[in-house]
Amino acid sequence: MAGKIWFVGAGPGDPDLITVKGRKLLEASGAVLFAGSLVDQAATLFAPEGCEIRDSKDMTLEEMTEWLIAAAEKHETVVRLQTGDPGLYGALIEMTRPLTAAGIAWAVVPGVSSAMASLAAAGETLTLPEVTQTVILTRVAGRTPMPPGEDLESLAAHKSTLCIYLSITLLHKVQDALLAAGWSEDAPILVVQKASWPGEEKIVRGTIKDIKRKCQDEKIASQAMIVASPTLGAADWPNLIRSKLYDPTFTHRFRKASEKPND
- The whole-number pLDDT of residue 144 equals 86
What per-residue string of b and e applies to 52-81 under the rule 16 or more CB within 10 Å gives b?
Answer: bbbebeebeeeebbebbbebbeebebbbbb
User: Are the C-beta atoms of residues 84 and 113 closer than 8 Å to each other?
Assistant: yes
The pLDDT of residue 41 is 80
Average pLDDT over residues 7-29: 96
User: In the chain, what are the domain boundaries?
Assistant: 4-109, 114-233
216 pLDDT more than 60? yes
- Whole-model pTM: value is 0.90
Task: Work out the average pLDDT over 119-128.
Answer: 97
At residue 43, the pLDDT reads: 82
Confidence of residue 56 (pLDDT cuts 50, 70, 90): very high
The yes-or-no verdict on residue 211 having pLDDT over 90 is: yes
CATH architecture observed for domain 114-233: 2-Layer Sandwich (3.30)
Closest CA to 184 of 218, 161, 208: 208
Residue 226 has pLDDT above 60, yes or no: yes
Averaged pLDDT for residues 84-88: 96
CATH code of the region 4-109 = 3.40.1010.10
Q: What pLDDT is recorded for position 153?
A: 97
Sign of CA dihedral 1, 54, 107, 22: positive
Q: How confident is the model at residue 253 (pLDDT cuts 50, 70, 90)?
A: low
